[in-house]
Structure 1
């Protein structure tokens, strides 16, 4: 394992522990000095939700990075750096939202905010600085692991492009899991009440989303065109769902419900839309690559025969015929 990869893993773990410590400190001070923190349904629970999102994002980032390093997956390692940037943006929104909440004289004054201000700024600075460090380390890791793609799929450029699209879709599906779960939990706790018709629908969407993501992974591995088409249709429906939610936030009739959480929820909805749109594009791209030899090449390199000299060196052309790869 390259030194840059080891260093990235250790720094990601250190960042997660540091953020966890800071967030626990913030939550403890809020619970200690702010009365009736959980008295109302939405706004007062915001600090707990932001705490949860930042901690889980830091831990999930470690999962992405370690998984990418252990598998020699440069796409996932690059994705971790982008994900860490997203987590940092959440910490910035958290600062603004908590400041707005604690500025309300009914809840608390500036005293509590000044107590937790340093910890919130420290989280932002640490995550911003570590994002820059991770991007630099990713550059070195990318060059160290560049040989891995060649060893796995050979020198044929067409197969290599298909493999990169394959790995990119896997990464996007993992990001989909985080952004949807974060959105669903935040929406249920911060916005909805148990009497709202959307409450049960949003809860039901959680297992449905897990099923769709599992279907996507399975169809990608098996190159099942029917299943992938189903996933594409469901992703289109998911895109429409997020567009509906975003429009609903700015419906004058719903203004009171979203008043305190509109900036954060709007941002999260837009990020979710971008990730789902990218997933939809990659799913269609991978679907068009089905049947051109990538599945066979991946199956060969997945522990059955690791020696490159034993791998059949072929590719499948557009007519479906196998041709020898002269680059091998």
Structure 2
């Protein structure tokens, strides 16, 4: 696997790579500083800081993987989605500052950490959103250049059929949404398991089980749309509605006066992840319905890469076979 050898493709890859390296470096310093200074304890506040930092770092690594995937596939929609995702990471970085300050304050009153640790870490926590903001601006500019570059690739792949291009665009949006759904669902679940739920409870067990189930659902959602399996896609859409109900229920519990204290250590970031996930699920359901509507209308050969590659090989082989008799007749 390789990236298309163009200036803007490599520019997009380099911008995201530098952003990831710098951000992870700063996050690692902040994490190490807290771990060295903090005294051992099992309070939720002590889990807040490493959980936020680890999840934020994973977000950039996952984004880097999606960048490689988008550029390799020349997926314009996913490139645009990555710019929007970077804005989400920017917002989460800003939320992270407030949450970590509250966690440090709690630990300070528990005599588990010195207050000067916050003074040492605050400048770096503020610098991180600034770097992500700059990265977002650069990514957006390069994505605008890539749009024209990749549009020609889609034109060659799909031809000038406007209806077919719209169907292919809907398919690309759906696949990209599945990839972003995974990250935000996983981010919400990790925060819930580490900061909120107690091990051994039924809710904890159900949440742990939901992780592999979600992965299977997302993989099946991609597989069914490529095979144009209507029954399978209907089942996936119903499961998406169930996921929407689950996140609405979680939001209700997070702000219900009786259960709200359980969620206080991670209320703001969990609310952020839950709302973003609900928006993504809603858009995913809409695009899934549009994909089902486009079934059996000629799109399947265009998205079946293996078949297309086999056809190209057969065409090349037939071309070579037809050239041999011609040369023999000339000789």
Instruction: Give the aligned partner of residue 230 of structure 2.
Output: 225
Worse overlay, 83-92 or 99-108: 99-108
Shift of 1:179: 0.8
Unaligned runs of 5+ in 2: 317-331
Whole-angstrom CA distance in 2 between matches of 1:271 and 1:299: 31
Counterpart contact for 2:55–2:187, Cα < 8 Å: yes
Whole-angstrom CA distance in 1 between matches of 2:311 and 2:83: 32
Count of matched residue positions in the alignment of Structure 1 and Structure 2: 307
Aligned to 1:98, which of 82, 100, 105?
A: 100
Instruction: Give the aligned partner of residue 80 of structure 1.
Output: 82
Instruction: Give the aligned partner of residue 309 of structure 2.
Output: 303
Within-5 A mapping of 1:186-205: 186-205=191-210
Whole-angstrom CA distance in 2 between matches of 1:225 and 1:114: 57
Instruction: Give the aligned partner of residue 3 of structure 1.
Output: 7
Whole-angstrom CA distance in 1 between matches of 2:123 and 2:181: 32
Whole-angstrom CA distance in 1 between matches of 2:124 and 2:312: 49
Whole-angstrom CA distance in 2 between matches of 1:227 and 1:119: 48
Within-5 A mapping of 1:132-151: 132-151=137-156
Unaligned runs of 5+ in 1: 311-328
1:110 aligned onto 2:115: yes
Counterpart contact for 1:2–1:144, Cα < 8 Å: no
Q: Once the two structures are superposed, what CA deviation does each residue of 1:272-298 show, in whole Å capped at 9, x if it has no partner?
A: 111111111111110111111100233
Shift of 1:133: 0.7
Instruction: Give the aligned partner of residue 208 of structure 1.
Output: 213
Whole-angstrom CA distance in 2 between matches of 1:81 and 1:306: 34
Shift of 1:79: 1.1
| Runs ≥4 residues deviating over 4 A | none
TM-score under structure 1 length normalisation: 0.90
1:128 aligned onto 2:130: no
Whole-angstrom CA distance in 2 between matches of 1:59 and 1:83: 12
Whole-angstrom CA distance in 2 between matches of 1:11 and 1:296: 34
Instruction: Name the SS of the counterpart of 1:39 in structure 2.
Output: coil
Q: CA RMSD in A?
A: 1.7
Whole-angstrom CA distance in 2 between matches of 1:57 and 1:244: 25
